[in-house]
A and B are shown apart, each in its own frame.
Chain A
Amino acid sequence: MADSTTSTCVKHIETYVDSSSSKSPSLQDASLDALAKLLMNDMITMELLVREMEMYLTTTDNIIRARGILLLAELLTRISSKPLENNTVHSLIGFFADRLSDWRALRGALVGCLALMRRKTDTGAISGSDANAVAQSFMQNLQVQSLGQHDRKLCFEILECLIDSYPHTVMSMEDEFVYVICEAIDGEKDPQCLLLTFHLPKGEDEVKREELSRALMLAFAATPLFEPFAIPLLLEKLSSSLPSAKIESLKYLSFCTVKYGGNIIQEQHNALWSSLKDAIFTSVPSSLTVGPGSQDNKIADEALVLLQKLIQQDNSSFSFLKLILKDKDINMTLKSLSNYNNYDDITVTDKQRLNAIGQILYVSAAASIASCNAIFESIFSELVNGLQQMMQEKDYVPEHNFGYLYICVDLLSACRTLVKPTEITYLDNETWCTMLSSFCTLLTSSFVKTMKESTHSNHTYFGVTGLQILASFPGNFLPVSKSKFEDILMEFNLIITNKFENSSIWKSVLDALVEIGSLIEKTDDYEKIASFDVIVVERMLSLLSSDDLLMPYSLKVEAVSKIGMTNLKYMRKIVQELNTAVSTSLRKYWLDGNSNSTEHAIVLLECYADKLLPWFQNIRDTDNVPMHFALKVWDQLEDNTLFCDSLNEKKLLETTMNAMKHAVASCSEECQSMILDKAFSILSSSTGFLVNESMKHAEFSCRDEWIISLFDSVIIALHPKTHGKNTKEILQIIMRALSNGHIPSAHALGSLFNKVPNDMQYFSVEDAMDITFSKYIGRFSNGDDDNEMGVGNLRLSSVNDELINAHAIIVGLAWVGKGLIMRGHEKVKDVIKFFLNFLISNGHSPASNGSINSSEDCQDLMRAVADSFSIIMSDSEGCLNKKLHATIKPLFKQRFFNMVMPILQSSIVKSNLPITYKSMLHRALAHVISNTPLSAILGEANKLIPLMVDGLAILSADVQNRDVVYSLLLVLSGTLTDKNGQEVIVENAYMVIMCLNKLVFYQHMMLVRETTIQCLTAMSELPYARIYRFRPEVLQTLSRALDDPKRSVRQEAVRCRQAWASISSRSSYCNTAMYIIQASKPYQIWRLSTAAYSCVFLAYLCNFDF
């Protein structure tokens, strides 16, 4: 038994050690596993195994010895959980440590050491002295950087294991071990090894630059003892011209500053300041900003962060701050601020310098209260005096104090960051607070003066910013008193009401007010809220109702709405006021068509739809503001029965409809039913909408038109679940309006069909369809044939108006189709059938019955029918979208495409129609194709491409089709980008190229010509064998296209011509290129090609003289 085990064991050992090619790696792995299993199951002991392996472990054949040692090592790795006796472990580690000197069999020794060192004490681990032996042998024998990648990695793992698991041993070795580690790491570039050496978390395969950088940063900042070495190194790196190096070194310096602490880094202050100053002065942009805004320059940003850290760390002695305050350059600039007068006269370099100094002062002052005190003491009074003096000069021009203004505002904004609303009382004794308190009046008056008198937007901007900062200190911060705050608000208010003609200052003041308003709202500053209420909000409100005609109404509304958005409380007041204003202006307009009130109403309603309603949706308010607004408008309609006769302001009606839609859409279902009920009652009480059987065309009165239009808007915006009682009546009213030629009702009709609930027992989609067809569409038909509903004989009608109405009915039906296909309802088939029948049968019997006035009218109708496919397929802003709660099933476009395509295709192919009718079919088809997702088109490309090409040819004959041609062409160019599409195009290459060759000269649309040429360019990439025969023809076409009237077409033509001209040579180029790529590595390609150039070049120098 034992013998057989031993013999299997020997066999496995031989299999593994045998390095000849007959043994596959998998076989060797299997024997390794088998041996490990034997060991784990105690079938053989470690001693026995070693004895059996003796020859392999000691032979002088390097390869076999290496395999042998590796086998033993791998086995030890696999049985790490099996307990071993201590002396076994001891002798094994002795062996492996000793073998570290054997460079030919190093791998096994490394793996073995590692396996043993990683053993846990409960299963038998190596002792401290063993570890010491490994370390000593490591130090004596290994030159890590001369090893291969994997061996290096193992070495680092050994070092890591030594440091982690045997710290006492490592401590006892002191410096020498550190040197060995440094030597081992020095020059390491392999990411895997770097992961180990930098002690990064493993797991991901990729090492990111940031991780490495961070690890190195942690290493630098590990102990303050590194400071004398790290800081000069980092400063040297900072002086590099590489931006990334600068940024990195600034980051490191910031981190180290915090870790080393202020006292230690003090000696380096001079060097640090001069490098930092350099970095900031050269990298800050020249556009002037206040406060901590990002500088669009990472170097400057990082430098400023470092500056602040340095000051914060150095708070006891201020030595760094003193460096800044005593700096010659800074002082000189501050002394000569009076030279920086007019913003426009300051050179770019001076602006940069000013910005740099402003930023340095800002960051320093914002660093801490103490530093702020120091800065105020040394420069603030001078600054304010400077500002003041400039203003008192006799020949004072408001533009003449920019430098002072800018620095002052910068410092103030730094102060603002030091004041926290919760903890302020103790601040009042600080130097900067006392100074600010004494200068406050002066500052305010200077800022106000600048704001009011300067004509330059940059000056006024800083004036406004200064005032805004002063006003945004918390209410209980004494240096800026409440009365000052109120003064500032008053000044701002004056600007809002009086200086509206200067839009830049007006806007910045409004923004400042909004900022202040939202700030005091956030901080619950009761005193200030009260003042703001009285001074700003109340006055703004009075603006709306005032008859002051000087200030444009749109500005009034803008100011009021923006202020309102700072706070719900204000907004409630403002909404009330706005509602009243809307009612008043609508009423006035209805009465006499007053153009002034038209404008007011439009402004108000746009503001409602675009700003207020979205705002209310965001804050989830419970007041039902949208509902009240909608009801209010309906109330107005109800109360005002007298309408002026000539109201032809279409835009106002549209704006009102839009606002109504948005308002209703943002209501809950209950509110929507309330609005619907109200609207319906008004509608039914109006005489114009009595549902009677006689379908005679009736002219709507103005009021009727408003009522029906707004009613449409309500219907469009309803939620599918909103419960409506009178759906049938509503449907009839809408159809009635539609047959009166009122197109907006078509949208409502579509929405109605889209949203009628399926489970409604007494009125279903089917009923609705019946009514629609029998009453309104069927009446146009012959009535002979029930199956062919209204077989498109709308042209039976002979009255002139009926033509318009037929148009409207077609559009309405298209929207019905859209609503149905979107919800995935079967009845859509009826609609499709109606349209298709119309298109096809009309073509077959072009002049039957002869009742249509002219064939032109008939064509118009047919075009409308063809365009209804575009309505069904395209997305709409005005209705049937997500915002307006449409029921949308996924992939509805694909479904429609699948329904319609076979019929259209077969009728186009079969029919021997006259070209005008065929072009209508193509128009419909083009609408469908260009609105279907490209992926669906590509699936059917083999059928569609011939159709599309045919369509392009036919459609391009008529100018009216130009947009359709363009969108169809875009689909064709889309198929050219896809592999399947390309294959089909290749199949039909002749046809496609002939068609494109014609479209290159399509005179009605530049985009068509441009896209055609792009398609041709794309086609030049198709397989050479399939396209080469078209080359002469295409080139000829293109040479004519070079003379196109439009420049961009000519450009495309040049590019395309180049592409086609070079297709013959391309194949040989490709071969050469492939050969080079196969033959060499990337950098060699470059060499080869440059070598080729140089040959050509020399040939040229020697021979070329033409």
Chain B
Amino acid sequence: MAPALINANPVVYEKKERPARSRPGDGDFDEYATEFIDQLEIFDILQICLCEFTYHNIDIKDPEHPYSLEELKVITEDAIEVDDKRSYVRVTFTPTVEHCSMATIIGLCLRVKLMRSLPSRFKVDIRVAPGTHATEDAVNKQLNDKERVAAALENPNLVDMVDECLTPSYE
């Protein structure tokens, strides 16, 4: 019954260290300064844990290791373009294998996550990195078509799955 393994043994990379931001109480904290939305912030928003049903066979799931997209290098910081003043974000992600059938669902998750986390003024653009997916154009088209995204989000099963994907795993 279980679907075949899409990528049984993904290469797992280490997470990067982050520089600390200044907090109230630090000497250089300015109460009224604006912290613009930057690459790193978008990147942190997109720290989505892939649930077991994406890259792991259901029956041999190892609950200790749900990998995040960062650990699989699906998204890197450099693959994010952001301009706070012009309210624009573009995320380019890299599926782990060329025929990854999860590419659309990952893209959808990314879009939903950004929709929920960014102010409404932002325009979001999600793309598969050029040359990393067999049906690149089709996927890009699907992901950036407002109508189709809206339609997808009216499908309760799909919304549940996306939600599941976006909730942090507490196991």
Contacts and interface: CB of A to CB of B under 8 A. Distances in A.
Interface string B142-158: 10000011011001011
B158 A1004 contact: no
A1006 B31 contact: yes
A1100 B158 contact: yes
Given A1007-B24, A1042-B118, A1043-B119, A1096 B161 contact: yes
A1094 B24 contact: no
Contacts of B120: 1039, 1042
A1090 B61 CA distance: 10
Interface stretch (B11-19, B51-59, B69-77): B51-59
Interface string B18-62: 000101100000011111010001000100000111000010010
Interface in A840-887: none
B58 A1106 contact: no
A1100 B105 contact: yes
Contact of B119 (A1006, A1007, A1039, A1096): A1039
A206 to B, nearest CB: 26
B119 A1045 contact: no
Nearest to A1041: B119
Nearest to A966: B24
B161 A1101 contact: no
B142 A1090 contact: no
Contact of A1043 (B24, B41, B101, B121): B121
A1090 B58 contact: yes
Contacts of B35: 1045-1047
A1057 B164 contact: no
Given A1093-B53, A1097-B3, A1099-B157, A1106 B152 contact: yes
A1005 interface: yes
A1093 B119 contact: no
A1106 B119 contact: no
Contacts of A1094: 1-3, 53, 58
Contacts of A235: none
Contacts of A1093: 51-53, 58, 161, 164
A1045 B151 contact: no
A1046 B52 CA distance: 34
B169 interface: no
Nearest to A1040: B119
A1003 B105 CA distance: 39
Nearest to A1061: B116
Nearest to A1045: B34
A1047 B52 CA distance: 30
A1038 to B, nearest CB: 10
A1097 B50 CA distance: 14
A142 interface: no
A1005 B58 contact: no
Contacts of B7: none
A229 interface: no
B34 A1106 contact: no
Contact of B31 (A1005, A1098, A1100): A1005
Contacts of A1104: 152, 155, 158
Interface in A1053-1105: 1054, 1057-1058, 1061-1062, 1090, 1093-1094, 1096-1101, 1104
Interface in B102-128: 105, 116-121
Contacts of B31: 1004-1006
A1090 B119 CA distance: 34
Interface residues of B, number: 39
B160 interface: yes
A303 B58 CA distance: 40
A1045 B163 CA distance: 27
Contacts of A1101: 3, 101
Contact residues of A: prevailing secondary structure: helix
A1096 B160 contact: yes
A1093 B169 CA distance: 15
A1094 B142 CA distance: 23
Interface in A995-1053: 1003-1007, 1039-1040, 1042-1043, 1045-1048, 1050
A902 B164 CA distance: 50
Contacts of A1090: 52-53, 58, 61
Contacts of A1043: 119, 121
A843 to B, nearest CB: 31
B87 to A, nearest CB: 10
Nearest to A1042: B119
A1090 B35 CA distance: 41
- Scoring A1046, A1094, A1096, A1097 by chain B CB atoms within 10 A of each residue's CB, the highest score goes to A1097
Nearest to B59: A1090
B3 A1106 contact: no
Contacts of A1004: 31
Nearest to B44: A1051
Contacts of B149: 1106
A1096 B157 contact: yes
Given A1058-B116, A1101-B101, A1106 B45 contact: no
A1006 B24 contact: yes
Contacts of B34: 1045-1046
A1093 to B, nearest CB: 5
B71 to A, nearest CB: 21
Given A1096-B161, A1098-B3, A1106-B142, A1054 B51 contact: no
Contacts of A1006: 24, 31
Contacts of B37: 1047, 1050
Nearest to A1099: B157
Given A1045-B33, A1094-B58, A1106-B149, A1100 B161 contact: yes
Given A1093-B164, A1096-B160, A1099-B157, A1042 B117 contact: yes
A1004 B32 CA distance: 7
Contacts of A1045: 32-35
Interface in B81-115: 101, 105
- Scoring B1, B33, B35, B148 by chain A CB atoms within 10 A of each residue's CB, the highest score goes to B35
A1046 B23 CA distance: 10
B153 to A, nearest CB: 9
A715 to B, nearest CB: 33
A1062 B120 CA distance: 19
A167 B104 CA distance: 75
Nearest to B121: A1043
Contacts of A1046: 34-35
Contacts of B33: 1045
Nearest to B171: A1086
Given A1047-B41, A1094-B2, A1100-B158, A1106 B117 contact: no
A1100 B45 CA distance: 25
A1058 B115 CA distance: 12
Contacts of B61: 1090
A690 B101 CA distance: 93
Interface in A465-502: none
B161 A1054 contact: no
A1045 B34 CA distance: 4
A1050 B158 CA distance: 27
Interface string A408-425: 000000000000000000
B30 to A, nearest CB: 10
Among all A-B residue pairs, the 8 with the closest Cβ atoms:
A1043-B119, A1106-B152, A1045-B34, A1106-B148, A1054-B117, A1042-B119, A1047-B35, A1093-B53
Given A1003-B32, A1061-B116, A1097-B53, 12 more contacts: A1042-B120, A1043-B119, A1043-B121, A1046-B34, A1047-B41, A1090-B53, A1093-B52, A1094-B58, A1100-B157, A1101-B101, A1104-B152, A1106-B149
14 contacts: A1007-B24, A1045-B32, A1048-B21, A1050-B41, A1054-B45, A1054-B116, A1054-B117, A1093-B51, A1093-B53, A1094-B2, A1097-B53, A1100-B157, A1104-B152, A1104-B158
Interface of B: 1-3, 21, 23-24, 31-35, 37, 41, 45, 51-53, 58, 61, 101, 105, 116-121, 142, 148-149, 151-152, 155, 157-158, 160-161, 163-164
